[in-house]
Amino acid sequence: LKEAANRSQGLKPVSTLLRDLFREPLSPMELADFDAVVMDPPRAGAKAQAEAVAKSKIGTVVMVSCNPATLARDIGALLAGGFKLGPMVAIDQFLWTGHLETVVVLRR
């Protein structure tokens, strides 16, 4: 990690946080210090968190989802908050199953 940090000239440091976002989503005020977020919710999605991100000043969201229905719902909240869809990739990491991971980039 130290070597990666040395090679990341000009990049902002990365912050990570472990938190139960169903019980306590990050508020727009807490999100004020972040430029971007990566959201990888469980199958139930991240409705409350997506709504809070939509109200924040964050400019970039990367959504990872294993449930197309909740992904569509959560993206809807972000689109309503002024985000635009960017690249979207489907990843078939569970071969021979009906399960699919989807990665979507949204930007303001």
Strand intervals (E) in 1-100: 36-39, 60-65, 84-91
- Annotated catalytic residue 66: yes
**Residue spans per domain, the chain:** 14-107
Q: CA-CA distance, 27 to 56, in Å (whole number)?
A: 8
Q: Report, as an integer, the average pLDDT of 96-106.
A: 92
Which of 53, 58, 61, 66 is flagged as catalytic?
A: 66
Q: Report, as an integer, the average pLDDT of 99-103.
A: 93
Residue type, 4: A
| C-alpha pair distances (Å), 85 with each of 35, 43, 61, 66, 80 | 17, 21, 10, 18, 11
pTM, 2 dp: 0.81
**Which pLDDT tens digit goes with each residue over 15-74?**
777 888 888 888 888 889 888 999 999 999 999 999 999 999 999 999 999 999 999 999
Q: Which fold has domain 14-107?
A: Rossmann fold (3.40.50)
